[in-house]
Chain A
């Protein structure tokens, strides 16, 4: 097992454990970010670069932003943005940068190993996924599109306030 594999696995598992063990739910959101980044990097390391990058973009980008929005909306009673936390954050950032510099040679090795496995890379490229989606999975693909539209309309319906409907219900009672 290489260093990078252990590192990415540790990121994923520690993130997942952090989600359930941390008290403050802003911190557990950050742990989930760590976990999704770890899993995405593990996919890239395995050779599925397209799926891994999509994982990082969708989970660590879009879904995390949605979660963050709701966490901010709901608010947290026991969060404390103190000076000590900021110092801790800066120290953490410095350690991360040091760690990244130490890992740079490993990353060069990763690039070489990914380039070496051409058959896997060709089977999992964006092109072959697209061909698969538009030939074999064309009907499920269309249904997924309809599902996304339905979900979007559903969210708008659920999230809006319904004063009229409530008033009507009370009148009926």
Chain B
């Protein structure tokens, strides 16, 4: 590791902040979902960076769990998006304002 830990964490934090901003502000369910993925991705990268900084494999092993969780989350989330799209024929979050048919 040539750069310091802080320098590696800066891009991770920036990606997390962008993801958080997008998840709170965007009006498209697919983009909101992508932003949630970005947050997960950046925290995973931070795990690995800490693992590298301390030369310890626990962080990298934990990253593997995060990969599995991310895969599950994407599969279930996208199935839900597809069902919502079938129901309302749109992906705009503003239109999902009622729970019933």
Q: In the complex, A12→B8 CA distance in Å? A: 12
Pair A9/B68 contact, Cβ less than 8 Å: no
Encode contact with B along A39-73: 1 for CB under 8 Å, 0 otherwise: 10011001110111011001100110011011101
Q: Which of B3, B25, B61, B78 contacts A1 (CB 8 A)?
A: B3
Q: Does B7 contact A (CB under 8 A)?
A: yes
| Residues from chain A with Cβ under 8 Å of B68 in the complex | 144, 147-148
Query: What is the size, in residues, of chain B's interface with A at 8 Å between Cβ atoms?
Result: 58
Interface check A106, CB cutoff 8 A: no
Cα A35 to Cα B15 with chains together (Å) = 8
B52 engages A47 (CB within 8 Å): yes
Interface range on chain A (Cβ under 8 Å from partner): 35 or more
B76 touches A154 (CB 8 A): yes
Q: A67-B34, A74-B30 are in contact. Are A117 and B1 (CB under 8 A)?
A: yes
Chain B positions near chain A (C-beta within 8 angstroms) = 1-3, 7-8, 10-12, 14-15, 18-19, 21-22, 25-26, 28, 30-31, 34-35, 37-38, 41-42, 44-45, 48-49, 51-52, 55-58, 60-65, 67-72, 74-76, 78-83, 85, 91
